[in-house]
Chain A
Amino acid sequence: MSKTVTVYSTPTCPYCKQAKDYLTEKGVAFSDRNVATDLDARNQMVQKSGQLGVPVIDVDGTIIVGFNRTKLDELLS
């Protein structure tokens, strides 16, 4: 069964783009929330991660702060 993946990002952040490209290349569907403009998404991100840095990636409720390929691969497998 496929996992629910959400990426909280800003349009200017290069690591956010790398993370999203990586997911796309792996064929992982995800929803992208722009926390620069979407205040609900920003609050949600802060609540989930307890911090204010992007990207934040939510894989089925497990939170990764930053673009960490190793952790992401673990959670997706």
Chain B
Amino acid sequence: MEEKNFYDLIILGAGPAGMTAGVYAARKQLDTLVITSDIGGQATWSDGIENYLGYVYITGAELVKKFEEHLTKFDIKIEFTRVVRLVHDNGLFTVHTEDTREFTARSVIVATGKSPRMLDVPGEKEFVGRGVTYCATCDGPLFSGQHVAVVGGGNSGLEAALQLMKICPKVYLLELEDKLRGDEIVQNKIKGAQNVEILTRTTVTSIYGEQFVKGIFTRNLDTGETGQLDVTGVFVEIGLRPNTGFIKDLLTLNRWGEIPVDCASRTAIPGLYAAGDVTDVPEKQIIVAAGDGAKAALGAYSYLVRLPKATSDWSALVAS
């Protein structure tokens, strides 16, 4: 059977924004496809959420599970793959995926969120999963009893250090600025630990090893002094970047690579909407992303019902 690849709406991403958009689109009975590499996005990683209405406390994983249950109550198709390119031609959008498939729709909602930012130093890519990790929560326990380095002194770096100092004999915490940046209460817990060494004004210049990481080279930004740390784990916690690589030829992004949207979640291209952390909306919150996902889906619905008949019959034309 030939794969169906024409839809009213394609939603890219299945975090809080994408999943909420999916529920709204399904309730409007739009013929919808969700394309995503995972369920939950960044929300999955949250230890505890205390500001999503209706739950005084819930873990990210549990909230994501509830979102997924809600979304999959509807007859909505989900393809698990990654988007590599979005093309806009003659009022139609074509999504190219990494497994070289193509899906076309009359409207698209981009809700691809953000991913961990990489250090971009020699050895990093080579050792991903072999000592270099971006998820301390997931992989931290695998490094018990070993010497490790956490790169980044913001809140996520501090949380990683706090977790690792309980199971590792030595934790180096590297920060570019002259002091740690995260919450003071967590800073104090870390500063009091015998086995944590804080290296400020320090950058990683490369990561080395054989099958697995054996250490990192560092440089002090003030003195230029270089150093070498024998570590088997490198936890990179230097923030996030929006997943917009596949769309940068289509839209002008802001300086952080985010998609500019108006108050109705519209982008500069009619029929193309964006929602959640991938946009330039100021507050990156689950509840904000969910709300924007709803706006985007309702916007797409209004757009689709107003399309001239000729355009709305495009699928018959293309199929013939």
Interface-centre pick from A36, A52, A53, A65 (highest chain B CB count, 10 A): A52
Q: Which of B28-46 contact A (CB under 8 A)?
A: 38-40, 44-45
**A36-B133 in contact given A14-B40, A17-B61, A52-B212 (Cβ < 8 Å):** no
What's the tally of chain A residues with a CB closer than 8 Å to chain B?
Answer: 24
Taking Cβ atoms with an 8 Å cutoff, the residues of A that contact B are 10-18, 21, 35-37, 42, 50-54, 65, 67-70
Other-chain contact of A35, B39, B40, B80, B141 (Cβ < 8 Å): B141
The count of residues in chain B whose C-beta lies closer than 8 Å to any C-beta of chain A is 27
A interface secondary structure, majority: loop
Number of A-B contacts (CB under 8 A): 68
Collect the chain B residues with CB atoms within 8 Å of residue A13's CB: 135, 137-139
Q: Which residues of B contact A (CB under 8 A)?
A: 38-40, 44-45, 60-61, 64-65, 80-81, 129-131, 133, 135, 137-144, 211-212, 233
Are B138 and A54 in contact (CB-based, < 8 A)?
yes
- Tell me the bound Cα distance from A10 to B129 in angstroms: 15
| B212 and A70 within 8 A (CB) | no
Nearest CB of chain A from residue B71's CB, rounded to whole Å: 14
Report the bound CA distance from A53 to B137 in whole Å: 11
Q: List 11 A-B contacts (CB under 8 A).
A: A10-B138, A10-B141, A10-B142, A12-B137, A13-B139, A18-B39, A18-B65, A36-B141, A52-B129, A52-B142, A70-B80
- Provide the residues of chain A in CB contact with B233, threshold 8 Å: 52
CB distance from A67 to the nearest CB of B (A): 7
A37 and B144 CA atoms in complex are apart in Å by 9
Q: Which B residues lie within 8 Å of A12 (CB)?
A: 137-138, 140-141
Report the nearest A residue to B131, measured CB to CB: A52
In the bound complex, residues from chain B placing their C-beta under 8 Å from that of A52 are 129-131, 133, 139, 142-143, 212, 233
Q: Using CB atoms, name the residue of chain A closest to B134.
A: A53
Instruction: Report the Cα distance A30→B131, complex, angstroms.
Output: 27
- Closest residue on chain A to residue B99 by CB atoms: A70
**Residues of B with C-beta under 8 A to A68:** 80
